[in-house]
Amino acid sequence: MNYVSTRGLAPVLNFADVLLTGLARDGGLYVPERLATIDGPALRSFAGRTYAEVAVEVMWPFVEGSIERDAFVAMVGDTYSPAVFRHPDVCPLVDLGDQTWLLELFHGPTLAFKDVALQLVGRLFDHVLSSRGERLTIVGATSGDTGSAAIEACRDRDALDVFILHPAGRVSEVQRRQMTTVDSPNVHNIAIEGTFDDCQDLVKALFGDLGFRDELRLSAVNSINWARILPQTVYYVSAAVALGAPEQSLTFAVPTGNFGNVLAGDIARRMGLPIDHLVVGSNRNDILTRFLDTGRMEMAEVHPTTSPSMDIQVSSNFERLLFELHGRDAALVTRLMEQFRATGRMDVAEERMAELRRVFDGARLDDAEVAQVIASTWERTGVLIDPHTAVGLGAAQACRRDPDAVMVALATAHPAKFPDAVEAATGVRPALPTHLADLFDRPERMVTLPNDQATVASFVREHARSV
């Protein structure tokens, strides 16, 4: 499969090169030249197969031509195994009654759904780089969640060094310890004396120094990388099959930040999975749900909420949907994105919005409504959910078009990852799963550096093995 940029001016690449490239050189995002299809017979053939087997079948057409099949099957099998995902179904379904199901995506090493893609992405990076005799230096900034998932994905991999910047004293203790207790020679935690924005600015500045970028072979594992979207299509398929597809169609509700997760659902739908609707759940940072209401995408200030992984102003993956919505017209997408960058606003034509609203619904929940959903779910079903999951489930309840339709709400984090919000809503403090039970006793490894580009750059240069 070949990949093209949403802006139309970057070279056409295969899967392995898209993986290593991330953002396209014209500023666009890579998308497959065409989508593979999943038809009824294919869905029936998935029934009773393991998650890893389904994952290979769903992803292979997108990978073919750039990685040997045996190696790919081995990496997928290694990823979706009991050593990595601590549930035999990998992404299990939990029945909440009233035709509503939770799809639990948090059984990976860092207890959030990002593991589902990143655990495979780390293996893919290592495989492609080793077979080319190359190395990369991964640099990223985190306000909490992404950093630990990236570190777990890259740890102990010979072809990668990973440097994650977090704001000193400004991430939760669970989140910090999930990063700093990883004992691996290629993992470097840097606490920056500053805010998350300072960390992000430092990372941008390091990437912007082209000499440094080439010397260190800097790369990122952020969610604009197509290789992070593709593995997320698999759990939509596995859930649909488990609930009776192709005979049964369903609706998915997704707590949304960067639009990566719900985009994967839309891709599965375009491939042929019987998805009636996709529900976008927003917290107070509701740029997407406002857009669905008005047809205008408009930037606003970021507000901190109890679902911090969705405290995002611009959903970068939205560009991929925009590309499909406008018949893959790269020139038009470029104009819209340039308008958005220049003015903080973008208007989508009414007929396109009508098309979008046939599939997408959106609802916004503030922190008080999120706490209510956590409390009522606990009272009604005895299931504890985290605040992100509650945004999705609350949106699912608000947007149900048909009371008999099957609704699947994506559970994106384990409740123990956000124990304070869960305890405040229910009076119950969720316990960490056994593999993390001793998290607070493990030694931490990190350095604290000033908010200074030259200091951070020389630390990276000193510790990276790619030079």
**Beta carbon of residue 6, minimum distance to ligand PLP (angstroms, whole number):** 17
Beta carbon of residue 145, minimum distance to ligand PLP (angstroms, whole number): 4
Instruction: Give the whole-angstrom CA distance, residue 256 versus residue 80.
Output: 24
Among the listed residues 63, 20, 98, the one whose alpha carbon sits nearest the alpha carbon of residue 233:
63
Closest-CA residue to 136 (of 159, 152, 154): 159
Which pairs with CB-CB distance under 8 Å and at least 24 residues apart come from 343-347?
344/298, 344/299, 345/296, 345/297, 345/298, 345/299, 346/296, 346/297, 346/298, 347/295, 347/296, 347/297
Distance between CA atoms of residues 132 and 44, nearest Å: 38
Contact assessment for residue 313 and residue 326, using Cβ atoms and an 8 Å cutoff? no
Which of residues 222 and 238 has its CB atom nearest to ligand PLP in the complex? 222
| Cis upstream peptide for 88 (omega within 30°) | no
Query: What's the Cα-to-Cα distance from 322 to each of 28, 29, 165, rounded to whole Å?
Result: 12, 11, 31
Toward ligand PLP, which CB reaches closer, 287 or 413?
Answer: 413
Q: How far is the CB of 313 from ligand PLP (least distance, A)?
A: 12
* Catalytically active residues, by annotation: 114
The Cα–Cα gap between 249 and 28 comes to 33
Separation of alpha carbons 187 and 182, rounded Å = 7
CB nearer to ligand PLP: give 265 or 464: 265
> Based on CB atoms, which residue is closest to ligand PLP, 122 or 260?
260
Interface residues with ligand PLP (CB under 6 A) are 112-114, 145, 223, 255-261, 309-310, 388, 412-413
Q: Nearest distance from residue 417's CB to ligand PLP, in Å? A: 7
Look-up: residue for tokens 């709400």?
A: 409
Q: How far is it, in rounded angstroms, from Cα 159 to Cα 161?
A: 7
Q: Are strands 275-282 and 360-364 parallel, antiparallel or unpaired?
A: parallel
Nearest distance, CB of residue 232 and ligand PLP, angstroms: 8
Residue nearer to ligand PLP on the CB measure, 249 or 316 = 316
Are the CB atoms for 360 and 399 separated by under 8 Å?
A: no
Question: What is the smallest separation between the CB atom of 461 and ligand PLP, expressed in angstroms?
Answer: 30
Is residue 311 within 8 A of residue 304, CB to CB? The reply is yes
Nearer to ligand PLP, 128 or 275 (CB): 275
Pairing of β 2-5 and β 13-14: antiparallel
Nearer to ligand PLP, 93 or 332 (CB): 93
Least distance from ligand PLP to the Cβ atom of residue 57, Å = 23
User: How far, in Å, are 9, 27, 182, 441 from residue 110 at the CA level?
Assistant: 37, 31, 11, 17
Question: Residue 309 and residue 256: Cα distance in Å, rounded?
Answer: 9
